[in-house]
């Protein structure tokens, strides 16, 4: 790949965008009818003569509360009958499935796994917090009518399913992305949202008439809008989605108005460019050839740094001076997953990689390879060793580009950070694995040899596993947890 040291100005220009139709989804829970007792409410519980419904799942409640699902009420965590998914087991799952929906017994809290290490320093980090698998919290007793067992338990969020009737109330059975198996997923109302409305790794999208939390496909290769959950940037050939700021997009993507009428969508900046080679950029002149870069990269116009790509907390941020500028420790734009990583000399004669986030690793061995020998007089970059690949850091809100999951197993300056790990396999939580790429959620607990899921942000785990804190440094101000 040629090296570029030429500076240039940015001419504002926008590419064409094929847009999918938008629609609003269901609103928040509301009061439902008059009553004197809970049993008179079709859904919810009775308060001062009116039926109320606080929640469908735990995340509908305030921090420190969980959803008492049989009566759709937010109760303090640990209270009798409250559902126990967030934070590793809670007080046992409530029944709701049997006969009259009587609350089942409180399941025993699962034992936590042994505390894992914090991961090696250096921006990318080796595995952190991969302690041995802890015991799984026992499920609560099933509600019964007249002593007979109730119907089979409904599936929880992220469980595989065949139809809506398989899932708990408030969830729908839909594909977890184009061409992916169906899972029980929550509905939502704000298309493009990556906030607490959706679990980590998901986005609120309108797909085939239902607005629900689908797996993000930003960055997936496409030729038309029908290839994507939301839309396809047809000139650049990748899927995009709506955004409010760069924090709603994966690292390496900024948030910029595109199309006519213009809409804010995630725009890919982790792509090389140069004189006569700007096809990867959203605008023909949006190629940053600053002297600080070893390899030129796409950029975009911005009003503030909030429009630009967001690295993990603790790493130097992008800045905005009318266009998005990479931090001083970043020398190139190669996207996460690019292999082999490539190297060259910076202006000070130091050998550096030209990855979008300045980080690299071997995804299979989970180690950080040494850089190759590089001649500073070379006019092209030098490939790293076999298996050496670029890796992006991430924040839970924006997550990672299509094919990757944000997992908190990196370390920088003693703090835990998320890394975008390959999530291209079919291994469900609890399946055997040796690499992250074998797992649906991009996380292999190598100590236990089992697929897992980083549940730190949302507390969600498929049936048969519990969201368990593993110890070690916190991430984004909260304990690191995984499904086990």
Tell me the pLDDT tens digit for each residue of 432-448.
Answer: 999 999 999 999 999 99
Please check whether residue 440 lies inside any domain of the structure: yes
Among 92-106, 162-176, 200-214, which stretch is predicted with the lowest mean pLDDT?
A: 92-106
Residue numbers of the domain that contains 405: 394-483
Please check whether residue 60 lies inside any domain of the structure: no
Mean pLDDT of the 461-472 span:
96
Question: Ranked by mean pLDDT, which of 40-44, 66-70, 284-288, 321-325 comes out on top?
Answer: 321-325
Q: What is the largest CA-CA distance in the chain?
A: 84
Q: Pick 89 or 231 by higher pLDDT.
A: 231
Please check whether residue 203 lies inside any domain of the structure: no
Please check whether residue 410 lies inside any domain of the structure: yes
Give the pLDDT score at 42.
Answer: 65
Is pLDDT of 370 > 60? yes
Tokens found for residue 311: 């690295």
Q: How many domains does the chain have?
A: 1
162 contacts: CB under 8 Å, gap ≥ 6:
173, 182
Please check whether residue 169 lies inside any domain of the structure: no
Is pLDDT of 466 > 90? yes
Please check whether residue 332 lies inside any domain of the structure: no
pLDDT tens sequence across 384-399: 999 999 999 999 999 9
Instruction: Give the SS3 label for residue 226.
Output: helix
Tokens found for residue 366: 């989970």
Residue 265 to residue 284: CA distance in whole angstroms = 18
Among 45-54, 91-100, 133-142, 273-282, which stretch is predicted with the lowest mean pLDDT?
A: 91-100
Mean pLDDT of the 301-315 span:
97
118 contacts: CB under 8 Å, gap ≥ 6:
128, 129, 411, 414, 416, 472, 473
Quick one: the chain helix, strand, coil %, rounded to 5?
Answer: 5, 30, 65
Contact 96, 147 (CB under 8 A): no
Among 2-6, 169-173, 424-428, which stretch is predicted with the lowest mean pLDDT?
A: 2-6
Omega before residue 261 within 30° of 0, cis: yes
- Rounded mean pLDDT of the chain? 79
Mean pLDDT of the 192-220 span:
89
Q: Pick 66 or 327 by higher pLDDT.
A: 327
Mean pLDDT of the 321-326 span:
96
Residue 317 to residue 340: CA distance in whole angstroms = 25
Share of the chain above pLDDT 90, in %: 64
Please check whether residue 407 lies inside any domain of the structure: yes
Q: How confident is the model at residue 22 (pLDDT cuts 50, 70, 90)?
A: very low
pTM over 0.75: no
Count CA within 13 A, CB hemisphere, residue 400.
Answer: 24
Give the pLDDT score at 73.
Answer: 78
Residue 361 to residue 340: CA distance in whole angstroms = 10
Q: How confident is the model at residue 474 (pLDDT cuts 50, 70, 90)?
A: very high
Share of the chain above pLDDT 70, in %: 71
Please check whether residue 39 lies inside any domain of the structure: no
**Closest Cα partner for 251 from 275, 219, 279?**
219
Give the pLDDT score at 137.
Answer: 36
């Amino acid at each position: 790949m040629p090296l570029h040291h030429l500076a240039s100005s940015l001419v504002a220009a926008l590419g064409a965008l094929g847009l999918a139709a938008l629609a609003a989804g269901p609103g928040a829970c509301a009061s439902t009818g008059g009553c004197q007792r809970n049993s008179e409410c079709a859904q919810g519980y009775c308060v001062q003569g009116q039926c109320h419904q606080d929640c469908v799942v735990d995340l509908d409640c305030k921090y420190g509360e969980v959803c008492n699902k049989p009566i759709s009420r937010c109760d303090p965590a640990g209270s009798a009958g409250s559902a126990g998914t967030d934070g590793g087991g809670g007080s046992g799952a409530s029944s709701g499935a049997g006969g009259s929906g009587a609350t089942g017994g409180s399941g025993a809290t699962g034992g936590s796994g042994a505390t894992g290490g914090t991961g090696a320093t250096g921006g990318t980090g080796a595995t952190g917090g991969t302690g041995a698998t802890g015991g799984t919290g026992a499920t609560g007793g099933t509600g019964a009518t007249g002593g007979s067992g109730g119907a089979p338990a409904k599936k929880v969020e992220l469980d595989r399913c065949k139809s809506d009737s398989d899932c708990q109330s408030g969830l729908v059975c839909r594909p977890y992305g184009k061409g992916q198996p169906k899972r029980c997923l929550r509905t939502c109302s704000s298309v493009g949202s990556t906030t607490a409305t959706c679990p980590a790794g998901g986005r609120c999208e309108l797909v085939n008439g239902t607005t629900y939390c689908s797996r993000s496909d930003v960055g997936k290769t496409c030729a038309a809008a029908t290839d994507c959950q939301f839309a396809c940037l047809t000139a650049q050939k990748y899927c995009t989605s709506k955004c409010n700021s760069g924090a709603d997009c994966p690292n390496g993507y900024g948030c910029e108005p595109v199309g006519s009428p213009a809409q804010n969508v995630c725009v890919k900046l982790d792509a090389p460019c140069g004189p006569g080679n700007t096809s990867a950029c959203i605008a023909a002149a949006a190629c940053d050839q600053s002297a600080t870069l070893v390899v030129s990269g796409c950029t975009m116009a911005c009003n503030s740094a909030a429009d630009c790509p967001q690295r993990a907390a603790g790493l130097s941020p992008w800045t905005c001076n009318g266009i998005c500028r990479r931090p001083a420790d970043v020398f190139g734009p190669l996207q996460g997953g690019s292999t082999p990583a490539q190297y060259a000399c910076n202006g000070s004669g130091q050998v550096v990689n030209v990855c979008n986030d300045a980080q690299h690793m071997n995804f299979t061995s989970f180690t950080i390879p040494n850089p190759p020998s590089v001649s500073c007089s070379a006019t092209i970059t030098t490939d790293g060793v076999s298996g050496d690949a670029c890796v992006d850091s991430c924040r839970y809100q924006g997550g990672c580009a299509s094919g990757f999951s944000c997992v908190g197993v990196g370390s920088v300056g003693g703090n835990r950070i998320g890394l975008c790990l390959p999530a291209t396999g079919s291994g469900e939580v609890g399946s055997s694995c040796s690499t992250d790429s074998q797992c649906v959620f991009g996380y292999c607990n190598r100590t236990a040899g089992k697929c897992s899921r980083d549940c730190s942000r949302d507390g969600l785990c498929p049936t048969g596993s519990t969201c368990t804190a593993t110890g070690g440094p916190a991430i984004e101000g909260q304990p690191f947890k995984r499904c086990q």
